[in-house]
Amino acid sequence: MKYISSIIFGAAIVLAAYFLGNAYIKRANPPQIISVTGLGNENFTSDLIVWEGKFSANNTVLKSAFEQLNLDKAVVRDYLVSKGIKEENIIFNSVQTTEMRDNKYDNGNYVGSIFRGYQLTQSIKIESPNVALIEQVSREITELLNRGVQFNSFPPRYYYTKLADLKIEMISKATEDARIRAEKIAENSGSRLGDLSSARMGVFQITGQNSGEDYSWGGAYNTTSKKKTASITMKLDYRVD
């Protein structure tokens, strides 16, 4: 019985020594990791345009200014519809009223103001998938001057409605780019690429094509260019066997 107990005790010591030694080796030789960053780029053309402008009417009588603004509104609407823009795409915002006054001074000292009248301003917004049409109309809008309407136009903004699908495609490209880089590094070092340890997505950027825009840490989102370039990075960590 003593002999059997001695054998069991001895075997336990050997096993304990093996596991402790193996654990030490693992701690002393942590798994080798290759960290790589892949880039995914995609050029695309915007499929949605947003264009805004405003017009105003001035009069010393508020009611008269409002009546003139309504007449101008009808002229603007008819003009845009005649150019091929659908009426449901034309949004007229609420009227803003400003009381205009000239400051009065006496020997450099402010002594009050003189009432000059009211200025009523109405802004308009057009959102349409017909990018080419809205671009053309935005360039020709000064024709309204010949119809007695002082229309101020703002530069169009460009968007892309399939951005979510594009982002998924770019993540796939960036991941593949990173994997190829990792395989090349492992090959050059005489190792074999193991399992993927972790993956982290970088910042999503949209810039104008050939614009030379700087990337932003928070992510750039260009709306001034019709043709854009989207980019994203993926950082992957691979184990090395």
Domain holding 124: CATH number? 3.30.70.2970
CA distance 184 to 174: 16
| Same domain assignment for residues 149 and 166 | no
Let me know whether 101 and 168 are in one domain.
Answer: no
Please give the structure tokens belonging to residue 20: 């402790």
* Residue finishing a domain among 157, 178, 212: 157
- Using an 8 Å Cβ cutoff, are 132 and 32 in contact? no
Would residue 106 count as lying in a domain? Answer: yes
pLDDT over 80 at 13, yes or no: no
pLDDT in tens, 159-180: 999 999 999 999 999 999 999 9
For the whole model, what pTM was predicted? Answer: 0.77
Map residue 225 onto helix, strand or coil.
coil
* Any domain includes 231: yes
Banded model confidence at residue 64, pLDDT cuts 50, 70, 90: very high
Quick one: pLDDT at residue 60? Answer: 93
Which tops the pLDDT comparison, 22 or 72?
A: 72
Does 209 share its domain with 194? yes
Which of 157, 178, 210 terminates a domain? The answer is 157
Pair of tokens at residue 178: 């990173």
**Confidence at residue 54, expressed as pLDDT on a 0 to 100 scale:** 96
| 221 and 126 both lie in a single domain | no
Is the alpha carbon torsion for 58, 59, 62, 67 positive or negative?
negative
Host domain of residue 114 = 49-157
213 vs 73, residue with greater confidence? 73
In a domain, 6, yes or no: no
What CATH code is carried by the domain that includes residue 170?
A: 3.30.110.170
Q: Does residue 73 sit in the same domain as residue 140?
A: yes
Comparing CA positions, the residue from 220, 221, 210, 214 lying closest to residue 158 is 221
- Residue percentage of the chain with pLDDT more than 90: 62
Token pair for 204: 């999503």
**Domain finish residue from 112, 129, 157:** 157
| Distance (Å) of CA 27 to CA 16, 19, 21, 24, 240 | 16, 12, 10, 5, 16
Q: Are residues 152 and 53 in the same domain?
A: yes
Q: Do residues 120 and 181 share a domain? A: no
